[in-house]
Amino acid sequence: MSSDAVTSPSSTGGTSGASTMSDLDRQIEQLKRCEYLKESEVKALCQKAREILVDESNVQRIDAPVTICGDIHGQFYDLKELFNVGGECPETNYLFMGDFVDRGFYSVETFLLLLALKVRYPDRITLIRGNHESRQITQVYGFYDECLRKYGSVNVWRYCTEIFDYLSLSAIIEDKIFCVHGGLSPSINTLDQIRIIDRKQEVPHDGAMCDLMWSDPEDIDGWGLSPRGAGYLFGGDVVEKFNQTNDISSFVGHISSSWRATSRCSTTRS
């Protein structure tokens, strides 16, 4: 086997397979130019990504410092600017909090670039699931149609939506900062309850997994019905109780900008 073959997950490599590291680097550079991959390359990339993601926790632990990124929604050039400002992976450690696709014109290139970086540098980029990482939602808000338009079939959409099922539901930075795409759930009191969820499925219409992706913080006391028809609204008192129960200092959910977690107990905007 050549010295540049992909052998095992690490901060500088991907997983075993026929593709060499140079092939993966080429694909990353191609995607950075906003050029989409061949269908066969997408299939192989998704297979490698699944081998990595299947071993990650529903509450994936991350070391600080890390830059936390909110919704990208297919805005490829915003993603490029984020890397220009925040630093390229793997020099910068990144947490992307879901909603990679839909609405923007470049959901394919955006998600596949993030996925390729995940395979190349699995310990330096973490991807968690948002409510748009869903078969049903992507058929309404653009990703399905984009895949069909760019590839002439729905195969790439199927490969990507299968990967959605393997994405972590949340992350915790230095065991102190809890991060989730949406918010909290009245069905969940502890992180251990999140850890035992079977995440390898389409996003349910209700229940704990749904709430993690759909709930929103609001200036209320306790819980409220969400106007979005899924998840809940929740107040600061709910967050405070959750933090105390789980011995964590901060909660990060439903953001649309970038933050950098610099220590165990603080986040600063970047």
Q: What positions carry a catalytic annotation?
A: 132
User: For residues 143 and 183, is the Cβ–Cβ distance under 8 A?
Assistant: no
DSSP line for 78-132: HHHHHHHHH--TTTS-EEE-S--SSSSS-HHHHHHHHHHHHHHSTTTEEEB--TT
Residues 6+ apart with CB under 8 A from 6: 13, 14, 15, 16, 17, 19, 20, 21, 24, 48
Q: Helix crossing, 21-32 with 107-120: angle to 10°?
A: 150
Q: Which residues pair with 261 in a beta bridge?
A: 66, 267
Q: Rounded distance, CA 179 to CA 129, Å? A: 11
CA distance 114 to 97: 12
Specify the 3-state DSSP secondary structure of 180.
Answer: strand
**Cβ within 8 Å of residue 247, ≥6 positions away:** none
Question: The tokens of 211 are what?
Answer: 């709430």
Nearest-angstrom CA–CA distance, 40 and 80: 25
Interatomic CA distance for residues 28 and 79, integer angstroms: 14
Is beta strand 250-253 parallel, antiparallel or unpaired with respect to 232-234?
unpaired
